[in-house]
């Protein structure tokens, strides 16, 4: 059994790509997208027709609606190839605007429904800011499920659990990147690999807290830099993995054992934690890594969204 098949015994495998033609090779349950992945895809010859079609059919619409249509078209194409859910992201420029995030999310779901897609098969991705979490809380009340992304801290995860969001995406690789950069020449790659990787430790802490306290929010590790980070999180609810790393897992027959176990987590002595707005903002501010990576991630998604809009002119 290869490592990808072994991983699927413990964890729901999700493909992290806008390149949906690669999905059949790895048979993931779900798929995730973001503006950067869609931008990368539409610049390939095989996906350019989707962009051209969106412009031809909806070219008189404003750029916001045109973007909505393009995202939903990609999502529908992906849903034809997977049995589960696709995550579609709200414009990162709305990350600090609860009302605007709600409006955009509802529009995306309406477009999916118009295409005959059951809303249970769609997760609306929202940045895990305080405003984004509040929007997600309301969307969940309306039966619109959410995926809280750009999540780097325990405080973000706790607030998402309190809000009853469907799923969170803690970013393993970007946490790893920050600590490696901070350490500079003192970084010991071997010593900080696997279970000692700071990104892996962050996800493990969140997973164990959720399981210990019966929080049903799903944990989906994301943003991996290497296979070792993935195998160290075997047993996590879900893991969203790039096609390149899916290929490496499929090509390896090295042993893979479960690393995270919900039953074991339920026996741990982990105190309950809750945050109101002030406590959340303070806790996030105290975490330099999370504060920096959240801001950086929002800015990066905004840049790629603007580039994608430019291609629609």
pLDDT tens across 265-288, in order?
A: 999 999 999 999 999 999 999 999
- Residue 35: its pLDDT value, please? 85
CA–CA distance, 292 with 296 (Å, rounded to integer): 6
Q: Is 184 left (phi over 0), alpha (psi -120 to 50) or beta?
A: left
d(CA 305, CA 281): 27
| Residue tagged active-site, from 8, 21, 63, 125 | 125
Tell me the two tokens of residue 72. Answer: 């939903």
Helices assigned H by DSSP within 43-152? 48-58, 63-79, 98-114, 130-141
What's the rounded Cα separation, in Å, for the pair 11 and 233? Answer: 9
- Structural domain including 51 reads 3-310
The first and second tokens of residue 239, run together, are 């893991």
- Distance, in Å, from the CA atom of 11 to the CA atom of 18, rounded to the nearest integer, reads 21
Q: Is the pLDDT of residue 59 over 90?
A: no
What per-residue confidence (pLDDT) applies to 69? 95
Cα 149 to Cα 3, 38, 90, 156, 237: the distances in Å are 26, 16, 10, 10, 15
CB of 30 closer than 8 Å to CB of 23: no
Q: CA-to-CA distance for 176 and 225, rounded, in angstroms?
A: 8
Q: Cα–Cα–Cα angle for 125, 227, 176, nearest 5°?
A: 65
Average the pLDDT over 147-164 and give the result: 98
Instruction: Domain count for the chain, please give it.
Output: 1
What three-state secondary structure class fits 67?
helix
d(CA 224, CA 245): 8
Q: Name the pairing type of β-strands 86-89 and 30-32.
A: parallel
Q: What percent of the chain has pLDDT over 90?
A: 91
What is the distance between the alpha carbons of residues 87 and 112, in angstroms, rounded to a whole number? Answer: 12
pLDDT > 80? residue 229: yes
Mean pLDDT, rounded, of the chain: 96
Q: How far apart are CA 111 and CA 212, in angstroms?
A: 38
Residue with tokens 């995860």: 157
Q: Residue 288's domain is classified under what CATH number?
A: 3.20.20.70
Task: Of 47, 51, 3, 1, give the one whose Cα is nearest residue 22.
Answer: 47
What proportion of the chain, given as a percentage, has pLDDT over 70?
Answer: 100
Residue 214 burial class via C-beta count within 10 angstroms: exposed 0-12, middle 13-18, buried 19 and up: exposed
Question: Of 53-67, 94-108, 209-223, 256-270, which range is least confident?
Answer: 53-67
- Residue of 65, 113, 73 whose CA lies nearest to 91: 65
Per-residue pLDDT, averaged over 44-65, amounts to 90
CA 190 to CA 241: how far, in whole Å?
22
pLDDT at 313 over 80: no
* Residue 44 annotated in active site: no
Q: Is the pLDDT assigned to residue 60 strictly greater than 90? A: no
d(CA 231, CA 51): 36
Helix-then-strand count for the chain, H and E: 14, 8
Tell me, what's the pLDDT at 21?
Answer: 87
């Amino acid at each position: 059994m290869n490592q990808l098949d072994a991983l699927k015994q413990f964890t729901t495998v999700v493909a992290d790509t806008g390149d949906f033609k690669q999905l059949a090779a790895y048979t993931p349950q779900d798929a995730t997208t973001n503006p950067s992945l869609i931008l990368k895809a539409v610049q390939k010859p095989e996906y350019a027709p989707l962009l051209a079609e969106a412009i031809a059919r909806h070219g008189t619409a404003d750029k916001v609606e045109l973007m909505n249509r393009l995202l939903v078209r990609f999502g529908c194409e992906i849903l034809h190839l997977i049995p589960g859910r696709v995550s579609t992201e709200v414009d990162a420029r709305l990350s600090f605007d609860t009302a605007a995030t709600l409006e955009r999310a509802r529009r995306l779901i309406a477009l999916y429904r118009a295409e005959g897609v059951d809303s249970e098969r769609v997760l609306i991705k929202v940045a895990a800011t305080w405003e984004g979490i509040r929007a997600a809380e309301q969307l969940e009340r309306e039966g619109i499920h959410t995926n809280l992304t750009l999540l780097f801290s325990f405080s973000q995860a706790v607030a998402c659990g309190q809000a009853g969001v469907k799923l969170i995406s803690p970013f393993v690789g970007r946490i790893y990147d920050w600590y490696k950069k901070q350490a500079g020449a003192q970084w010991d790659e071997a010593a900080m690999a696997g279970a000692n990787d700071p990104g892996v430790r962050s996800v493990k802490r969140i997973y164990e807290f959720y399981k210990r306290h019966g929080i049903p929010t799903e944990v989906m590790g994301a943003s991996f830099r290497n296979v070792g980070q993935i195998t160290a999180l075997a047993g996590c609810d879900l893991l969203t993995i790039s096609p390149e790393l899916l290929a490496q897992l499929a090509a390896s027959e090295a042993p893979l054992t479960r690393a995270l176990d919900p039953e074991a987590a339920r026996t741990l002595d982990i105190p309950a934690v809750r945050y109101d707005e002030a406590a959340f903002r303070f806790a996030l501010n105290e975490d330099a890594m999370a504060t920096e990576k959240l801001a950086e991630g929002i800015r990066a998604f905004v840049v790629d969204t603007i580039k994608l809009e430019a291609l629609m002119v």
